[in-house]
Structure formats: C-alpha cells, structure tokens
Structure 1
Amino acid sequence: MTTANKKEYRLENLTCASCAMKFENNVKSLPNIVDAQVNFGASKLSYSGEATIKEIEDAGAFDGIKVVTGTQRKKESSTPFFKRRENFVTLLSLLFLIAGSIVSFQKGETHVGAISLFTLAIIIGGADIFKDGFKNLVRFEFDLKTLMTIAIIGAAIIGEWREAAVVVFLFAISEALEAYSMNKARKSIQKLMDIAPPTAIVKRGDELVELSTEEIVIGDVLLVKPGQKIAMDGVVLSGKSTVNQAAITGESIPVVKERESTVYAGTLNEEGALEVSVTKLVGDTTIAKIIHLVEEAQAEKAPTQKFVDRFAKYYTPVIIIIALLIAIIPPLFFGEWMTWIYQGLAVLVVGCPCALVVSTPVAIVTAIGNAARQGVLIKGGVHLEDTGHLRVIAFDKTGTLTKGYPEVTDFVPVEGIDKGELLRLTQAVESLSQHPLAKAIVTYARKNHAESLPATDFQSVTGKGAFAQVDGMTVSIGSLDWIQEMAVIPESTLLHAETLQQEGKSVMAIALDGQFCGLIAVADPVRAESKTVIDKLKKIGIQHIVMLTGDHPITAQAIAKRLGISDVRASLLPEQKLDAIKQLNGQYGRVAMVGDGVNDAPALAAASIGIAMGGAGTDAALETADIALMADDLEQLPYTMKVSRKTLRIIKENIAFALGLKIIALLLIIPGWLTLWIAIFADMGATLLVVLNSLRLLRIQK
C-alpha cells in the first residue's frame, strides 16, 4: 500500500475475524478506493484512495462498525453486561426458548403454543443473523451468518423448531463470548495507548500552563513532579530522580536520571522534580513509535495465518457441497428425506470456519501485545514465527555480550609501592588524556576515592602511552614494550602480564622516573547476565551459538571460553561479519543476529532475524531490526525465544482444536448422532478453546 495517500481510522464494534475480512473486501469495492487493509487485532483500517466516513461505515454496517480518527484518544465507556443490546436480546431469546420447551414437554412439540414460542425465540435472537444471511445469500457470499441462516430456516421447515431456537441461542452466546475474549486480547494495545498522559505542565515564559501533548513543541520545558508520568520524550535540564521505565523498556529496576539524561514519554518519575526539554513531538515519541509498530506487526500476517486464510477460502464451499450431498444422495437410496436433510443442516453448522479463521491471528495479537508490555518489540507475525523456529544465534561481542566500554580489572603495584599513592599519580596523568583506556583508569580512581593531583608537561606518545610531571616526578603509563624501553620489568611480572592478556585484557605498565612500579589491566567487561542468558538459550533449544567480533582472537577466545561459546570468529570487519551471517544462513537455514542496531546494521539486515539491543535509545534499532529489546538487557532474549516457541505451539494446538472438534462432530453422522445443538456446541467450543488457549500467552513473564 502506498503511503502517499494513506489514511488510517480506528474501528469500534469489529466483532470477529470473518467480519474483518468481509469489511476489508467491502471497503476495497468502494469506487475511489485503491487498496485497503483491516487490522483485526488493533481494530484499525488503513486505505489508499478517497472515501467518506459514511461510505466506510456503510461498508461495515453489517457488523455495526463505527469509525473514529486514528489520532483520537477516546476513553471507551464500559457498558454493563445486561444493558448491551446483543446480550439483552440473547437473554430474551433464552426466556422464549425455555417457555417453548416447557409447553412442548407438556403438550408436544407440534403444539401451536410451543411452535409460536420457539418462533419468537428464533426471530428475536436471530434477527441480525437473518438480515446479514439473506443479503449474503442473494450475493452468493457464504460466510458464517449465511450458513447459520440456511441451517436455522432449514430446521424450521422440517419441523425442528426447538433445535432451530437452541441453535440461535447458542450462536448468540458464542458470538458474545468471542467478542469478550478478543477485546481482552486487544487490551494489550489499549494499555500501551494509555501509558503516556494526554496533558503536561509546561513552562511558557514565567508561567506554568497545562497543555495537551498535541500542543507541545520541541524545545518546550516540562515540569514533572514526583509521582507523575513524563508526557514527552526529552532530555533532563535540571533535577535528579529515579524513573521507572518498565512501560517502555521492561526494566523492573528504576533508573537514575539527572542533567543530560534521556527520558521517555509514559515513564514514571518517582522521587524528585525534573525539568525536561522536549526533543520529539507527540507523534514521534518512542511510545508512539512502539504503538505504531506493534499495530503494524499485528496486521502483518504470519505464514501460518496466510495458509489458514487460503485453506478457509476453499474450505467453506467444500463444506456446503458436502452438506448438500448428505441431504440429497443418501435419501435417494435409503429414503428418510427429513433425517438426511437434518444431517445436512447439522454439517453446515459444524462446518463453520470461524474457529479456524481466528486460530492464528488471536495468538499473534496476544503474543506481540504482551511482548511489547515486557519491553520486547516484535515487528510482525512472520518474525514471531521465524524466531520460534530458530536453532542458531550469532552475537556481536562489544556492547552485546560485554558492556561496551573499558573498565580497570587489575591494578597491581610493585611490592613496597603504596597502591593509593600510585593510583593518585596515575590518575593525574590519565585525567589529561582523551584515550578510552585513560577514561577507564580515571573512573576507577574516582571509585576508589583517589585524591586528584595536578599534572604538568603532559605529552601523549602515539601508539605507546603518555607521560607528565606530577609532584616533581615523571610519571609514564603505556604499553609493556614502551615501558621496557625505559625500565626493567621482572620476568615474573611479564608472565603475569601474559596471563592477563590471555584472559582478554589490555595490559599497561607504570614507571616513575624511569623505574617500573606496577601494572594496570583494562578490559571490556562481560555483562553479568551474559553467561546465564547463554545457558538459558541452550536449555530452550538453541543448538549453536556464534560470537562475531572485530577484537583480537586471544581476547575473543578468552571471553567465549568464560561464556561457553565454542564458535568464535574474531578480527572481523563489518563486511566480514556480513559474510559470516550469509555463510551461517546457508549452513543452518535460519540465523538470528543480536547486535546494537547501528554498527552491526549490515549483519542484522542479512540475518533471518535481526535483534537489536537497547531499542528505546536508538531510532535505528526501532526502524531496522526485526525485534528490538527495548532495554539494554540480554535477559529479554530468552523471554523472546520463550514467547515465540509458546506462540508456535499454541497456533498448532489451535488448528488442531479447530479441525479436530469438527472432524469428531462430522464422524457422528455415521451412527446418525449428529444434532444441530451438538453441531453448534462443536463450533462454539472450538472457537472458545482457540481464543482461551491463545490468552494463555498473556501469562508469560520474563
């Protein structure tokens, strides 16, 4: 669908998957519509072309569909159960059914009073079914209501008035329960939409004014009090507080925010007051993008759903033909026309494809919505299914399995040298350097409360190290080879340095006035959770894990050994990572690549599934990855695998339920046990089993 003339509307009263398909076809048939797509999970219509709201609502009149604008934030009113028209009508139909049954037991089923009461139950409960069924019959459109209309009228014609009334009542119950269950599944989207507040307190000049988020512009300053939700994405100008980001990233532990920290719309400010400079308009915030991408993901049909849709297209006409043959052929040989016509009508009812059609989308909608609330953005049913089939995962090392920045791991002064004093001298030199390793040393010194000393005559020696004058001494810090040019390093120390290097650490030496005084080892530390995550993935069923890195092979092998990864590919340039992913794809069929979403973009794009870390902080990850882990947290990866595998299993179960119950019911034709009420129970039971089974996905937690 082209985006140039694309319009979007939210839909109310969309009740079933079959209704969504019919509504989509009706909109497509409007004269000035180029293309249209109905997102059943999100209750949303997207189309290209021109049409008035009245034309669109007329296209959905068969289901009572109403249209609201895509940006409209409407608080849905909750109507009490018995005040809903469809439920009141169903209850009234039940009362007439009970009354008719009482009369029929006392005076017989052919008594005029019983027939009159059953007729009232049929007319009251089935008016909406008949209205749509007759329209469809005239157009030769055979959907659920068409089949039900034929079955109910056929039952009445052959004198099965009570059975017809029971079918009407059970069908109404089935539709009400399906609508309730689907609304529960859709709440995952509605909860996301309610995360960000609709208004905020904004500083305009010397005044504080409350504005709707649509009126707030980039550069406005928000005042966020303790206990309030942050309304817009922005950067903290002043104040310090902890912010609960669980709604966006899935992180359970609040994050400290201070000056220059990034904050997101929909997150909860817990302790202190913050002033936030707005950096994005309401439609561009991270939560707005998440909502949009989740809705698009729910609209995208998974491979299984496409297959089921194609199957259902041919399945319904086949059922009608089978029902017709059952009603006509056996009586030609055995007689008993009424019996076989009744069996044919029962086949029509049990053959309704409702449960089959809803078997996949309800699971996809539920899984993607629940994952989004846990901080995992899965951008489509196809990616959800593919992830469920994964057996191989490739990890980028830096920033994914490791923290992505260097830290001091070992500080070893020579015997007789005071550690605190040496650390102060080292900090004085490195505080003047711009090298990443220097920053790690300064951070380490501050954590150990080392006093800051002044340094003069600082000089950096490219590729070797740096030196400066501190307290009248020349303090030199750099590579082992460079320090060995000016000082003697004991053999035992060199052996210790070699051991540290084999552990994947960068080792530097310190000299004071040309005399060796100590070693410093710096490494990009492995994330605390990396080993646990790798172990969990292996238990889940990931058979092969690969590490791809541009680091030196010794460093890469040391980290891989700690994590239990056997396949290590080191010293790779970005294009070589891409080649490695292509080779793995060819070898294993499906491969996921986990990276930071920016530096690893080519490899992420080439992988069957690209999984980006820290999606909340980078637009690139949200736009390019197939799956974004919104928090910079590897623990979300096993959860994602668990959700995907569980969804695949539930989809298979749903299809088995949908077809299995119908096959069992159809087999009852052989002994002549299939009745209309058993048929409707089989159809209703299959639909409810499918929906309730899918709702189990809401219970999966990290």
Structure 2
Amino acid sequence: MAEYRLKGLSCANCAREMEEEIQKLPNGEEARIYYNSGKLAVPEGVDLPNVEKILAKDGAVIIKEQDGSDEEGHHHAEAHSGPNWKMLISISTILFASAFLLEDYLSMAVIISMYVAATAISGYQTFIKGMKNLFRLKFNIDTLMTVALIGAFGIGEWREGTLVAILFGLNEYLEGLGMEKARKSMATLLQVAPKEAVLISGGHERVVPISALEIGDIVLVKAGEKIPSDGKVIEGKSSVNEAAITGESMPADKQVGDDVFGGSVNNEGLLKVEIMKAYEDSSLAKILHLVEEAQETKTPTELFINHFAKYYTPVIMLIAAIVMVAPPLIFGADWGTWFYQGLAVLIVGCPCALILSSPIAIVSGITRNARNGILVKGGVHLEQLGKIKTIAFDKTGTLTKGEPHVEQTIVYEPNFYQVAGAIEKNSSHPLAVAVVKEVEKSVSQIADAADVQTIVGQGVSAQVDDKMYFLGNENSLAHLTLPNKVKEDIAQLKGSGYTLVAVADEDKVLGLFGISDQIRPEAHQLMKRLQENGIKQTVMLTGDHHKSAEKVATAIGLTDYYAGLLPDEKVKKIKELTETSATAMVGDGINDAPALATANLGIAMGKGTDSAIETADIVLMQDHLGKLPSAISISQRVNRIIKVNIALALGLKLIALLLTIPGLLTLWIAILSDMGATIIVTLISLTILIEKKQEKVDI
C-alpha cells in the first residue's frame, strides 16, 4: 500500500465520493482517502494516472509520497484553491458591494457584468466541477450549487446568485481551515520525533540520521537535545523531560543504568546513551504511528453519517423538484416564485456541515489525549471511552505499586532490625528488598550474615555474630512455643491482610514485619473523580487473597471487589460486567491481556512498555492512573459535541426547509443556514483542543 499527501482536500463529502470512485478502479478495492490527515493510500497495481484524474475532478492533487517523515500542515489557502484565495474572495466581495451600492447610478448591463465577474472570481471552481458532475449525473454539493447559480441567473436573481457564490466560497474556505487547524495540531504533536543523533564511533563524534542508528550504538546527548531512540544511560547524570511520551510536565532524574525514551529532552549536562532499540521500534515511533492511524478509524457515528449522506443528497434533490412543481401544478401558484424556492432548497441540501460534525471533534480529542500522554488507538475507542459506566481494575501494579512495602513492624528484642537486615541485605527477593528498606530507616550500618540457608516452605536461616537465626513465614517459628502476645500479634497482622515475615533465634521471636503491596497515593482521589465523571461502578479483580483485597478496596473506596481469581475467572467476571453496562478493564498490559481483550475497552498502563502499547485500546503512558479521569472527561466531551453538531447541522437545515411552506426561504438564507452550521460545527469541535489549567494537574 503506497501513501501520498494530498493538496486540495477541503471537503469531507467530496473525499468520500472520490474514495468510492478510486475503489472502482482495477485493484482499487482497498484504496482509502484519509480526510482527517489529508492522505491517500492506494494498493499496488492501481493505475496512478487514473487516480490523479479522479482527484483532479474535485480539485485535489498528489503533492508528495510519504517517506515516513511528517510534512507540515498546509494552510487551507494553499490546499483549497491556491495562495491567492483570500484575495479572490476579497475582490469578489468588493465587486458585489460596489454593484449593490451603484445599482441606481449605472446601467443594468454594467451592474450585471459586475455581479457575473464577482461570481466567476469566487465560484469558478465550483461551477466547473458542478458542470462536469451534471453531465455525469453525479449529484454532490458542487452540482447543487451549480444548478442553483444557473437557476438564479436564469430568473434574473443576479444579486442573490452572486451572494450565494461568494458565501459558498467563503464557507468552503472556512470548512477546510477548521479541518486544517485540527490537522496542524496533530502535525505539531508529531514533530517531537528527533531527526539526527550524535554517534560516538572509534572515539570520534559524527552527526547521523536516526534511521542509521543500530542497537548497541553509543550516542551523545547534549543539554537541550532530544534523545534519538530508546536506550540506557551509560555515562552522565541529568534531568530529562519525558512529556512527549508520558505527558508528565515534571522532569525525571536519570543516571547510569536508567532507561530513557526516544524523543525525550535532556535538560542539562551530557548523557551518553546506549541505543537499545532501532528508532522504528522505539516507544515514540510506535506512539506516533498509532496516533496518526487513530485519526482515520471510523466511529459508529461517523459510519452512520457517511451512510446517511449517500441518501441525503438525492432526497434533497427530490424535495427541491417537488417544491418547484407541486405548488404551481396543484394550487396554481406562480412558477417563478416556487422555482426560486426550489433552488434555495437545493442549497440547503449541502451535507458538508453534517459530515464535518464528527471528524474534527475526533481528531481534536485524540490530539488532546496524546498531549497528556494518553494513547487512544482510534476514534471508535475514543467514542467508547465516553460511554463507559463500569471500570474494572487489576490490583497489583495498577491500584498498587506492585512493590512489597513494610506497613507495620512489631519489635520484641532490640537486635531485631540488625539481624533482619544482616540476613536479607544480599537477597534480591521482593520481600527481602522491602525488609532492608525498612531496616535502613533504623540501622546506619548493617552487619554481615554467614551460612545463609534456604528452608523450603519456611524462609531462611543464617548465622549473625556466631548465633543462629531464622527469618520467614509463620512456619519458621515451628521450633518455638509462642507466647499469647506473639500469637495475637500474628493473628492481627494476618487479619489485616499483611504478608507475615518473622525473625527469631533458637529461643524466642525477635519481631514481626507486616508487608503489603503499597497502594498508589492517587488511587483514593482517583475513585472520587471517576464518580464525578459518571462512572457508576468501580471494581477490583485480583488473584490475591480476600483479606488483602478487602483492605485495598476499603482504603481507596471501590464499589466492589473480587479476590482469588485465576486469569480465566477474571475473563468470566468481565463478561458478566459487560452484560449489564459498558465496561473498561484497566491493567498492566501483560498479565491481564485476556481480560483487556474481553472488556468493551482495554486500558493499559506501564510507561510505554511494548506489551501495553500492543495489547490495549487505550494506553496510559505514565506509571500511574492520575490522567484517566481527564481522558474520560475529554471523551465524554467529544461525544457531547458530536451530538450537538449533528443536531445543529440538521436543525438549521430543517428550519430553513420549513420556511418554504410560507414561501419565505431565499437563496441567501439557504446559504447562510449551511454556512452557519459549518462554522458553528467547526468552532465547537476545535474547543476540545483548549486545555484548562486545572486539567493539566495530575491527581
């Protein structure tokens, strides 16, 4: 499939019709015109000259083959009808105003000439395309406008015909300008991709394109420069702005051994980075590719509008014909008056505002979320996110940090911390790491342990200062007769949902650690914000035991929880939830893949891991859930705006059509109803790009 950039793609309805014509060419069934991003994709074997002929009929041309680099958005003045389009509209307006003001002072021939000249300057492209379509019996907006212009001039309505031509030209210009604004916003987002890197090879530095980098290459990143691809710091220390990937405004500190993302910016100092992924496999490249693709996925609403538009224009043509002939034939009304009314109905029939009601809003919503580090993989998922009423969360790594943390300590003997630290300090086990972190708060220097032995099902034994000690679960205390106080403390820790780690010698218990997975600090406030955004049910699905699950659910305010679930049981529970309401599943994108796929919407988190990006419908590029409520809020706003846009587009046209009953519909009212709908729809959709200050703040 070859991709090309298009110029002159300013009408959503025209783009749909051109796509249908190209698909009729040999081998062209899979051809696509992406109106939102101004691109054309054609399969191999399609005759490109024939494609260009179809494009030329509607004023669109191929300007550049895509080579993977982003091209700056083109101003609609260039894309629609050349760089002097604004000037042409201005000249037409001046001619129209002059003719209108001088009607009583100049001859009728001169006045008509001025009107015709104004019409020709602003409407010649529409007229030419409309005449071609008329001969081919192809009825789109250009055809309707051409028939209306011919009819208006034919019955001597020079002034109104000219005004229609000028307003339609202005309307087309503004329509394309609105779409271009959304495209440019997306293009700005895509500009974060680095272009070059400073490669260190053989002790020398040289600038190379990022496409030339290979895994294992060492690059030098100076202050203010972008890191060229995903890698690992091997020398230097700095703070790095990762906003392009995660949407986080605060810089992240990096030192030797830390991972870095391609596209992030080195704020200070020098970093030497070993490239771990070729750029095309990097997190940033995948994000940008998916964001660009996401613009073009059709939502159910868009598919309905496109299907509706196919029948809308022919129906309007029929209504216009009835308006022209029915009153004179049935009621003996004046033919000229009702012919004029019929022409106005044709203009009202322009479907552009209706078709434009969704794509600008969708692109704006995807762009807003991408700026915040929220990757929505398509308009259909954006629309679905706004309909979600139930959210199911995995526990470990999602609502909790996924790292054991000492929550409670009970000390019986003064050497408790020293012994525990000595036994665990060389272990990499997650529980051992948690114990050592807690010990370091109380002990400045930890002693060494000798003869460390693992005891299956219990824990470990070791010698510290030539004395034997035991560390592990409750079974490691089997050699002791426990006092009632110790028994009560053990029961209390287990009852609170903690994992027990006990330390003892051959005679007595030295102390107890109560360890749990630390709840994310934003989790409690997150649930409140989700409820404010209309989420009715928040559920936790976990394989952990009941007490631990209950503790987490109570602490953060979940509406329900289910513990002790195997992966297939999580899937079953998700199926049950989706039967009663639209349900999203939030997980880490690795262990929860089946549940993510089963839910109406899969949301993964994990700071850009490959599995998260590939598994879910929506990816939170941060390592927390703080931005989830804003993503839902943006999606709900997009859905509301699309509904409002459709209501306005159809409502204004319906009002205009109703004016035909008393015979009050005029050509200029007709064009203003269409123009007003298009402008309002465009402006409302673009408000999604406006970011409120409070939305920038994470939980």
TM range (shorter): over 0.9
Q: CA deviation at 1:47?
A: 2.5
SS of residue paired to 1:408: strand
- Residues 201, 609 of structure 1: alpha-carbon distance in 2 compared, 3 angstrom cutoff: same
Q: CA deviation at 1:361?
A: 1.5
What residue in structure 2 maps to residue 576 of structure 1?
569
SS of residue paired to 2:205: strand
Task: Summarize the alignment of residues 13-412 of structure 1 with structure 2, pairs less than 5 Å apart.
Answer: 13-51=8-46, 54-61=49-56, 62-70=58-66, 71-75=68-72, 84-107=83-106, 111-332=108-329, 333-412=331-410
CA RMSD of aligned residues (A): 2.0
CA distance in 2, matches of 1:640, 1:449: 45
- Comparing 653-662 with 464-473, greater Cα deviation is found at 464-473
Q: CA deviation at 1:295?
A: 2.2
Asked if the contact 2:77–2:86 (Cα under 8 Å) also holds between the matched residues in 1, the reply is no
What residue in structure 2 maps to residue 662 of structure 1?
653
Task: Summarize the alignment of residues 565-604 of structure 1 with structure 2, pairs less than 5 Å apart.
Answer: 565-586=558-579, 588-604=580-596
- Comparing 142-151 with 258-267, greater Cα deviation is found at 258-267
Q: CA deviation at 1:53?
A: 5.3
Paired amino acid for 1:67: I
Output one character per residue of 1:458-477: Cα deviation in whole Å (capped at 9) or x when no partner. Answer: 11112212121112332321
Asked if the contact 1:613–1:633 (Cα under 8 Å) also holds between the matched residues in 2, the reply is yes
Asked if the contact 2:240–2:264 (Cα under 8 Å) also holds between the matched residues in 1, the reply is yes
Gapped regions of structure 1 (runs ≥ 5): 1-5
Check if 1:476 corresponds to 2:470.
yes
CA distance in 2, matches of 1:136, 1:653: 32
Asked if the contact 1:35–1:49 (Cα under 8 Å) also holds between the matched residues in 2, the reply is no
Output one character per residue of 1:660-680: Cα deviation in whole Å (capped at 9) or x when no partner. Answer: 111111122223221111111
Asked if the contact 1:196–1:230 (Cα under 8 Å) also holds between the matched residues in 2, the reply is no
CA distance in 2, matches of 1:72, 1:395: 38
Check if 1:541 corresponds to 2:534.
yes
Check if 1:11 corresponds to 2:6.
yes
Asked if the contact 1:412–1:520 (Cα under 8 Å) also holds between the matched residues in 2, the reply is yes
Asked if the contact 2:70–2:187 (Cα under 8 Å) also holds between the matched residues in 1, the reply is no
CA distance in 1, matches of 2:185, 2:443: 48
Q: CA deviation at 1:504?
A: 2.2
CA distance in 2, matches of 1:147, 1:448: 83
CA distance in 1, matches of 2:544, 2:35: 47
Asked if the contact 2:494–2:500 (Cα under 8 Å) also holds between the matched residues in 1, the reply is yes
CA distance in 1, matches of 2:97, 2:441: 79
Q: 2:513 aligns with which of 512, 517, 520?
A: 520
CA distance in 2, matches of 1:516, 1:606: 48
Q: CA deviation at 1:489?
A: 4.0
Count residues in correspondence. Answer: 688
- Residues 342, 130 of structure 1: alpha-carbon distance in 2 compared, 3 angstrom cutoff: same
Gapped regions of structure 2 (runs ≥ 5): none
Asked if the contact 2:461–2:471 (Cα under 8 Å) also holds between the matched residues in 1, the reply is yes
SS of residue paired to 1:93: helix
Asked if the contact 1:467–1:474 (Cα under 8 Å) also holds between the matched residues in 2, the reply is yes
CA distance in 1, matches of 2:211, 2:629: 38
Aligned-residue sequence identity (percent) comes to 43
SS of residue paired to 1:256: strand
- Residues 541, 268 of structure 1: alpha-carbon distance in 2 compared, 3 angstrom cutoff: same
Q: 2:632 aligns with which of 627, 636, 641?
A: 641
Using structure 2 for the length normalisation, give the TM-score: 0.94
- Comparing 164-173 with 66-75, greater Cα deviation is found at 66-75
- Residues 260, 321 of structure 1: alpha-carbon distance in 2 compared, 3 angstrom cutoff: same
Q: CA deviation at 1:434?
A: 4.1
Q: CA deviation at 1:154?
A: 0.8
Output one character per residue of 1:506-531: Cα deviation in whole Å (capped at 9) or x when no partner. Answer: 12221244322211111101100011
Asked if the contact 2:472–2:501 (Cα under 8 Å) also holds between the matched residues in 1, the reply is yes
Q: CA deviation at 1:211?
A: 1.2
Paired amino acid for 1:463: G
